[in-house]
Structure 1
Amino acid sequence: MPELQQLFYRHCKYILYLLAIYFLGWGFTDYKTIFMGLILGTSVSLYNHWLLLRRTVRLGEAVAEGKKVYSMGTLMRMVAAIVAVYVAMKFPDVFHLISVIIGIVTVYAVIMIDFVVQQIFKSRK
């Protein structure tokens, strides 16, 4: 599991860099609702990624001990995304809905880009 946590920490670092850029965009541009939507969606995305890591580690421990695991936390991740979209719909003057949705899928884009970059580095060695 150390390599899984190492992957998570690398993804977390990239997401935090993106969040820093979003905060700068929120502070220095006129597109405040768009950047607030990206901040909300990306934060929920990072939470979902952390939750998935935690559940995966528990699954690995349970399999090693011969126990059963009933869920990977899909419902909790869906609820977090639905709550973020609900908040964006409830406060459209603060959050841009499309930006929230883009932010929610940000971690998946980061995972795919990181995979491609790691494969390129691995093929060069």
Structure 2
Amino acid sequence: MLQKSIVHRYLSYAAYLLAFLVLGWGFTPYHDVFLGLILGTIVSFINIFILYFRIERMGQAVVEGKKVRSLGMLHRFAMAGLAVLIVTLFPDYFHMVSMVIGLMAAYLIIFIDSIFKTLHSR
């Protein structure tokens, strides 16, 4: 199971990333690109936290010997679909490609963090 310290570390990385993206939105002329990245990153981290809480519940169910439910794939797909809907409804404010890149932000942070932890442990 994931430790709470790992989740808190990912949350702090997300806060730094979102602060950087907000600065990019405020100080560059690429407002739609940065808003797309911000929207995608927020949805990405919401999906990661949904997955985290579902995994915690699944672990509790296994320990208690109860039936194991799904990890909520449909809910995470719906969140990504909602982000796509927002971008298509407001194309002047959001950039679609950058929103899709933002959807991968949480997974990229997890990947980079695991590489640093592996290199640091050696």
Aligning the two structures, in what range does the TM-score lie when normalised by the shorter sequence? over 0.9
Using the size of structure 2 for normalisation, the TM-score is: 0.96
Amino acid corresponding to residue 15 of structure 2 in structure 1: L
RMSD (Å) for aligned C-alpha atoms? 0.9
Amino acid corresponding to residue 26 of structure 1 in structure 2: W
Amino acid corresponding to residue 32 of structure 1 in structure 2: H
- Aligned partner of 2:72 in structure 1 is 73
* Percent pairwise identity: 44
Deviations, residues 48-107 of structure 1 (Å, cap 9, x unaligned): 011011001000111010001221011100100011011111111000000100000111
Question: Shift of the alpha carbon at 1:4?
Answer: 2.4
For 1:44-83, what aligned pairs fall within 5 Å after superposition? 44-83=43-82
For 1:17-36, what aligned pairs fall within 5 Å after superposition? 17-36=16-35
Moved over 2 A (4+): none
- Aligned partner of 2:42 in structure 1 is 43
Residues of 2 paired with 1:90 and 1:83: CA distance? 10
